[in-house]
Amino acid sequence: MSNNINLKRGLDIPISGEAAQKIKKAVSPDVVAVKPTDFRGLLPKLLVKEGDKVLAGTPVLADKKSPDIVFASPVSGTVETVVRGEKRKLLEVRIKADKTQEYVDFGVRKVKELSADEIKEALLKSGLWPALIQRPYGVLASPEIRPKAIFVSAFSTAPLAADTDYVLRDEFANIQTGIDALTKLTDGGVHVSFDSRNYSGTPFHKLENVIQHTFTGKHPAGNVGIQIHHICPIKKGDTVWTVSLLMLAAIGKLFNTGRYDMTRKIAVTGPKAIDPSYVTGLPGMAVADLKEFYDNSAEELRFISGDVLTGTSVGEAGFLGFYDNQVTIIKEGREYEMLGWAKPLRSGLFSASRTYFSWLTPKKKYDMDTNLHGGVRAFLMNDVYGKVLPMDIFPVYLTKACIAGDIDKMEKYGIYEVLEEDLALCEYVCPSKIDIQAIISDGISLMMKEMA
């Protein structure tokens, strides 16, 4: 507790539509989807065909590269369609849910009595292995590796993110079980980072068997990548795993109940969400199941699985991502604004810079939309990015190295330490409107290809 890490740089984006802490409904899904696109670099192998009966926990997909890693159906039902995209790329496996849910029984087990290999096997078989993300690169964890350490962020600073304490309050015992299990997979221990301002307020500071850290700061202080950077930076050759509390709860449930139970509280948020609040649902559930939360009869809306900085636009016909417990609904900003850039005031819009006057109203929340607010240009300003990135790296140099595809420079400027999400704020504030996350993503793909 003594060594609180105080991050001065960052930005909390004041977007409206925070979810009220109440459960508006329990979504009993009709059709859910398992999406290979939720996982970086996954080459999926289909294990079922249309018409097959599955239970909650039945493997649907496997990883071609390491076939032990499987992805399970979150519901019991019938495989309805297999959706493919260009070049027959597998996009979704849609499963029609039954009225009553049946689970594959993996058996209740006492974690304390299990060996590391037994835990690994249980996670792999149940489809919970993908909960573990491996850095560098943010890929699926490799079962052959014993990571340097495992990192967990116990708070989220992302815009409108679901309140960790609220959504996981009842899962304390499961999370503890999950941590006990994962501790056996590493020698470096499980590091859990807390928000120092809420340290005594959160029930999770009572978690045992963990190494605790506290952070103070604006977004992205809650990003696990930022936390690792300050706790124990990733060097070349290091491998660490990260896992979210949400997934720890699911892992705990696996051992405590013997079920692959992915039920979670999901925050429905955003300026265009009607009465933003929480629902209970499953990963892979359809956005259309949230009908009472939006009205797109008059305007075009964007449905994001995740938050506005890093989420995926899935569309009204889309499905919630595997790792997400948030849906954000915002307006598509397809509107022209006459001489917008020249207006002295633009009171409806937020800017982190002082070139507008939104700094005068620090408490105000804004109904943000998806307009780019400008044209794409070359990098011009150089000091705006560092102000929102509490890491000891040079974001513009890293981005330029990625554009150039220069492996040596990418290594030098810290590609091992970042994922797209860590630089999302740099992208948000960029006056040149450069898609920094996409550039970093391409850079990571190149690294994976070249260094494999």
Partner 1 sequence: MNGLRKLTDKIKPAFEKGGKLGFLHSTFDAFETFLFVPDTVTKRGAHVRDSVDLKRILIIVVLALLPAMLFGMWNVGYQHSNAFGLGWGFWNMFWYGLVKVIPLYLVSYIVGLGIEFISAQIKGHEVSEGYLVSGMLIPLIVPVDVPLWMLAIAVAFAVILGKEVFGGTGMNIWNPALLCRAFLFFSYPSKMSGDTVWTGGLDRFLSEGTAYATNGHGLVDAFSGATPLAYKSVEGLQQAGTSFMDLFIGTVPGSVGETSVIAILIGAVILIWTGVASWKIMLSSVAGALAIGYLGFACGATDLPGYYQLVLGGFAFGTVFMATDPVTSAQTETGKWIYGFLVGALTVTVRIFNPGYVEGMMLAILLMNTFAPLIDYYVIEGSIRRREKKVKVA
Nearer to partner 1, 316 or 332 (CB): 332
Nearest to 423 by CA among 408, 438, 403, 433: 438
Let me know: does 188 contact 227? Beta carbons within 8 Å: no
Site residues for partner 1, window 111-170 (CB under 8 A)?
Answer: none
CB of 19 to partner 1, least distance (A): 17
Q: How many angstroms separate the first and last alpha carbons of the chain?
A: 39
Nearer to partner 1, 376 or 404 (CB): 376
d(CA 242, CA 234) in angstroms, rounded, equals 12
Nearer to partner 1, 77 or 390 (CB): 390
Site residues for partner 1, window 392-411 (CB under 8 A)?
Answer: 392, 394, 396-397
Quote the tokens at residue 247: 């997934």
198 binds partner 1 (CB under 8 A): no
In order, the DSSP letters of 229-259 are HHHSPPPTT--EEE--HHHHHHHHHHHHHSS
188 binds partner 1 (CB under 8 A): no
Choosing from 22, 88, 112, 354, the residue that interacts with partner 1 (CB under 8 A) is 354
CB of 103 to partner 1, least distance (A): 35
- Cα dist. 300→275, 303, 306, 320, 334 in Å? 18, 10, 19, 19, 9
Selected range binding partner 1 among 58-66, 79-87, 215-223, 230-238, rule: CB under 8 A: 230-238
Q: Which residues contact 162 (CB under 8 A, 6 or more apart)?
A: 19, 156, 265, 266, 267, 278, 325, 326
Choosing from 251, 266, 424, 444, the residue that interacts with partner 1 (CB under 8 A) is 424
Q: Which residues contact 440 (CB under 8 A, 6 or more apart)?
A: 398, 399, 402, 415, 418, 419, 420, 423
CB of 250 to partner 1, least distance (A): 27
Instruction: Mark residues 314-333: x for contact with partner 1 by CB under 8 A, - for none.
Output: --------------x-x-xx
CA 398 to chain centre: 22
Strand pairing of 133-135 and 240-242? antiparallel
Strand partners, 305: 312, 327
Let me know: does 299 contact 370? Beta carbons within 8 Å: no
Burial of 88 (0-12, 13-18, 19+ CB in 10 A): exposed
DSSP single-letter state for residue 98: P
Choosing from 47, 123, 308, 444, the residue that interacts with partner 1 (CB under 8 A) is 308
187 binds partner 1 (CB under 8 A): no
Nearer to partner 1, 196 or 310 (CB): 310
Q: Give me the residue label for tokens 């990418």.
A: 410
Choosing from 60, 430, 444, 447, the residue that interacts with partner 1 (CB under 8 A) is 430
Site residues for partner 1, window 231-260 (CB under 8 A)?
Answer: 232-233, 235
- Return the C-alpha torsion angle 446, 417, 189, 108, nearest 10: -50
14 binds partner 1 (CB under 8 A): no
Assign 331 to helix, strand or coil.
Answer: strand
195 binds partner 1 (CB under 8 A): no
Selected range binding partner 1 among 100-108, 205-213, 215-223, 434-442, rule: CB under 8 A: 434-442
347 binds partner 1 (CB under 8 A): no
Choosing from 336, 363, 408, 452, the residue that interacts with partner 1 (CB under 8 A) is 336
Cα-atom radius of gyration of the chain, to the nearest Å?
22
CB of 32 to partner 1, least distance (A): 24
CB of 392 to partner 1, least distance (A): 6
Q: Count of residues binding partner 1 (CB under 8 A)? A: 72
Nearer to partner 1, 21 or 351 (CB): 351
Nearer to partner 1, 50 or 300 (CB): 300
Choosing from 341, 361, 364, 450, the residue that interacts with partner 1 (CB under 8 A) is 341
Site residues for partner 1, window 264-303 (CB under 8 A)?
Answer: 302
CB of 429 to partner 1, least distance (A): 5
- Cα dist. 360→12, 189, 300, 357, 378 in Å? 15, 45, 31, 6, 30
33 binds partner 1 (CB under 8 A): no
Selected range binding partner 1 among 61-69, 93-101, 196-204, 362-370, rule: CB under 8 A: 362-370
375 binds partner 1 (CB under 8 A): yes
